[in-house]
Every structure is written in C-alpha cells, then in structure tokens.
Structure 1
Amino acid sequence: MALSPVQLIRPKRFGDSRGWFTEVYSVPAFEKLGITCTFVQDNHSLSVPAFTLRGLHFQTPPRGQDKLVRCVRGRIFDVAVDIRNGSPTYGQWVGAELSAENGHQLFIPIGFAHGFVTLEDNCEVSYKCSDT
C-alpha cells in the first residue's frame, strides 16, 4: 500500500475438497508485520442494499482505534484517510477491495479515518478494534 502504516493483509488459504481454512489473526504473525496493538473488541455489520456508504469514521485521542477490517460476505471498497496533524501524507487516502472471495484484510492504524462502500447486496463486514 502506498500510504504507510496502512497495510493490506492477504492471509493464506489452505484448501481441499471440503473447502478452505485460513488464519485471520495471530499475534506472532502480525508482530512480524509490525502490528503490535492489542485488539479488545470485535464488530460485525450487515449492509443490505448495494452501494451503502459507511464512514468516514474516526476516534479521537485518548480513544483512538487501530482497526483490522475484513468482508465476510459480499464485496466492499474499503478506504483509510490520513487525518494525523502534521503528517506528510495528511489528507491522502488508500483503498482496497475486500471480499469474502479474496479474504483480504485492511489494517488501519490510529490517526486514520475509515469508511467503505458496499459493491453488492447483503455485505457483512467484521472488524477488530484496539479500543471500545
């Protein structure tokens, strides 16, 4: 991703005739990526109509949140916008398509606004947060 420290995570899937298995979160694996936050809450949303817009959301200190976002049904276009005062990339954004099919996740650190738009009907999004 062009806007560090936002990271696109591509978990490996191990498949056979029954389907597949993937590890979506592991402290040691994420530490190797430089992600050392502690997640304390999981959220799950359903957006029924296609092109539902959610965001841009952000939490201000002292309740800032790191987020790990994934789409578990359907497809979304997920976006992170740098809102850190004084950052050389202030106001810049990155985005990625997250889908149940590709299994990709977006790590969005504290200091970034987050939002997404659904690309089809009945999208479910699950995300971890480092604060409540």
Structure 2
Amino acid sequence: MKFFILMKKQMIKILQAVILIALLAGISCSKNDNELLPDDENTPGLIDSLVTRIDTIRAMKDTTSITVYTNKSDVKIQWSTDHGTILGGGKRIVYYSGECCVGGNTVTCRVTSAGQSSEKSIKIHVISYFEE
C-alpha cells in the first residue's frame, strides 16, 4: 500500500513539472505587439551600441544579457522582441526563450530623450533544448 501512495506522489510531482514547463513555454513565446516607429533621419542617434553577452542560446536552459549604450543620461528605454521573454528593464535586460521559439529572434531597443528617439535591433539565435 505504501508503494502505491509513493507512486501517486511521484506522479503528481511529474505532472506539476510538465504543467510548469508548458506554462513557461507559452509565456516565453508570446509576441510583443508594441509598435516601434523608425528613427527620424535628421536627428543624431541616441544609441551608441547594442551588445549581447552571447548571441546563441539553448531554449529553456540558457539566457543572455543585452545592454544598450547611449550617449544621453536622461533617457526612456523600451525593449521588445518578436519571440521569447524579456526579463528586467533599463539599460540591461535578460533574454530567455522556450522551445517554441527555436530559430532567429529579434530583440529591439528604443531609446527616447527630449523628443528624439532611436532604435536598434539584435538577433538572438535559439537552438533546441533537445539538440545535441
């Protein structure tokens, strides 16, 4: 009888883990529909560079940090992605992706200051968790 109770508890834990993974995969692949407008070609760029720690990550396992370097101190920074999840905000974010987002994903940063805005994008390549 104890064996069946132990098996039932293990099955519940496995089911909880599967549900958690499914929820994370669904959340991490939602598309952010924030509309980003192009730069005004007559204004100097506010973004010096957009840098990622690594540009290839494994789905559901790895993350990468992305940092924007700007030449202004009083700025508003907005991040968006076509697939995956952005954690944090400000000048540095962390990017994470689920298995459903395998492939090339674009992360875009928009910097606004004193009525001017600039944006740059960077491509993050996501490989399958199951790929050897």
TM-score by length of 1: 0.27
Relative contact order (alpha carbons < 8 A, sep ≥ 6): 1 or 2 greater? 1
Greater C-alpha Rg? 2
Higher strand share: 1
